[in-house]
Amino acid sequence: MLTILGKSSNRWCDRRLRRDFLKIGGLALGGLSLPELLRAGDQAGSRHSHKAVIMVYLAGGPSHLDTVDLKPEAPVEIRGEFQPISTKVPGMQFCEHLPRLAGVADRLAVVRSLEGCVDLHESHMCYSGYPSVSPVSGGRPSFGSYSSKLQGPVHASVPPFVSLTHKVAHPPWGNPGEPGFVGHAHKPFNPHGNKLSNLKLTDFTLDRLDDRRAMLQSFDRFRRQADKVGAMARLNTYQQQAFEMLTSTRMWHALDVDREDPKVRDRYGRGSLEHVYDGPPMYNEDFLVARRLVEAGVRCVSLSFGRWDTHSLPHQDNRSNCASLRMYLPPLDQAFSALIEDLYDRGLDKDVLVLVWGEFGRTPKINPRGGRDHWAAANCAMLTGGGIRTGQMIGSTNSLGEFPLDRPVHMQQMLATLYHHLGIDLELTMDDLAGSPQHLLEHRKLLPELI
């Protein structure tokens, strides 16, 4: 245990006066102390080249029929109010409220024939390919937890798995990605979780990002003093790594969008929609933070964006499906298109793979309230980067958008694409808590159209 002593008159991040000390051994990240977490990462033993994944979860399931799988020839109760527009790819059409994504469609691969969904708000399906209730002892791990377990951190000062999901009233929509049977050491670090309360020191909580500069100044002061008396040399390996993670500016700089070029911030959009009913907010700059995190060395980033459960119910102000999407689609259009352009502009398009999707689609037939209900028989997804083949549509649904007509793609195959990009062997097995070997996925066949 390392104790850092200092002045007793400092005012800390919680605005209260307290003694200036911390204990490295008590630092917690996820469910374990940071030295334990780093030891677990070191046991993984892998320091491969840095491939990264950003998964954008559209909580509640956006309507495939009103975004990338429009049916303009279908009856009015099916086709809805939106018109299709041409994209940069001949023959590919998007909703009229996605003009920026239409302009970068040559850098997108759109899967319109997803199956394997369940008729429940199962965010875990998007994180693991499985429902949250599982017969597997300990539960199925999310993709980021698998990567953390198998590959470890790229940099000692940067966690391998970071979640930008937000706490919400409906817990499944705030799921950051559960570690399942690989253990709490591989939970994601969540800077939105209780205002950085996942990064804790004994008697010290970094609960205000605005105070990071004062905090870093205090660490810098300690490092200079510690170097003089040789305190750092007396720490064991994992205590040193824990201290490096605390005192490194790498993570703090990645989270600090104030350091970004104002023009880039404007491209992503600085405005936001606060929490949509009981779902996540729509913070455009979370897309920018995700890009900054993977540049800093994070392997996997999960991101929640909006509430897409458009039943048109009283608690939704009886707003129709299309009325809701008129609000939600423009922020997604701006933030996601900006991320695509940014990845390509910065030469990250081969190393960073982005997947955007929700847990299911919406009913082809509009309900009497003007909403669309859950529809597990068909879903869609958008991918970019990762060196995949873009500028294409994969699969289609029938004329009413009810089910895949050709080239059905299981949801787990999307996760297989992420694992393949990260360099994880899809045929490996890991023992669950009962000692039973488990494959990462049951549907492990890759899409040749992408690879």
Looking at the predicted structure, is the pLDDT value of residue 31 above 50? no
State the Cα torsion 324-63-386-186 to the nearest 10°.
80
pTM: 0.84
SS3 at position 228: helix
* % of the chain surpassing 70 pLDDT: 77
Give the pLDDT confidence score for residue 49 in this predicted structure.
Answer: 56
Mean pLDDT of 366-392: 98
Least confident range from 135-139, 226-230, 313-317: namely 226-230
Taking CA atoms, 214 is separated from 10, 30, 206, 217, in Å, by 10, 24, 11, 5
Cβ–Cβ under 8 Å, residues 301 and 50: no
Q: What's residue 314's pLDDT?
A: 87
Comparing 156 with 337, which gets the higher pLDDT? 337
pLDDT, tens only, 292-334: 999 999 999 999 999 999 999 987 778 999 999 999 999 999 9
pLDDT in tens, 158-185: 999 999 999 899 999 999 999 999 999 8
Report how far residue 417's alpha carbon sits from residue 443's, in angstroms, rounded to the nearest whole number: 11
End-to-end CA distance of the chain: 48
- Secondary structure class of 261 (helix, strand, coil): coil
Ramachandran category for residue 278: left, alpha or beta (phi over 0 → left; psi -120 to 50 → alpha): alpha
**Cα dihedral 296, 300, 304, 308 sign:** positive
Mutual orientation of helices 321-345 and 285-296 as an angle, nearest 10°? Answer: 30
The pLDDT of residue 29: 46
pLDDT tens digit string along 415-451?
999 999 999 999 999 999 999 999 999 999 999 999 9
> pLDDT digit string (tens) for 194-218?
444 444 333 334 444 445 556 555 5
Contact 397, 405 (CB under 8 A): yes
Q: Which residues contact 116 (CB under 8 A, 6 or more apart)?
A: 129, 410, 411, 412, 443
Question: Could you tell me the CA-to-CA distances from 142 to 139, 227, 247, 303, 318 in Å, in that order?
Answer: 9, 40, 29, 13, 35
Ranking 122-136, 226-240, 420-434 by mean pLDDT, the lowest is: 226-240
Domains of the chain: 50-190+267-439 (3.40.720.10)
- Non-local (6+) Cβ contacts of 61 within 8 A are 121, 308, 309, 358, 359, 360, 361, 362, 374, 375, 379
384 DSSP β-pair partners: 354
Q: For residue 146, which of 415, 354, 351, 381 has the smallest C-alpha distance?
A: 415
Burial class (CB in 10 A: 0-12, 13-18, 19+), 15: exposed
Pick the range with the lowest mean pLDDT from 7-16, 94-103, 272-281. 7-16
What is the H or E stretch that residue 59 is in?
strand 52-59
Contact 418, 147 (CB under 8 A): no
For position 156, what pLDDT does the model report? 86
Q: Cβ distance 290 to 43 under 8 Å? A: no
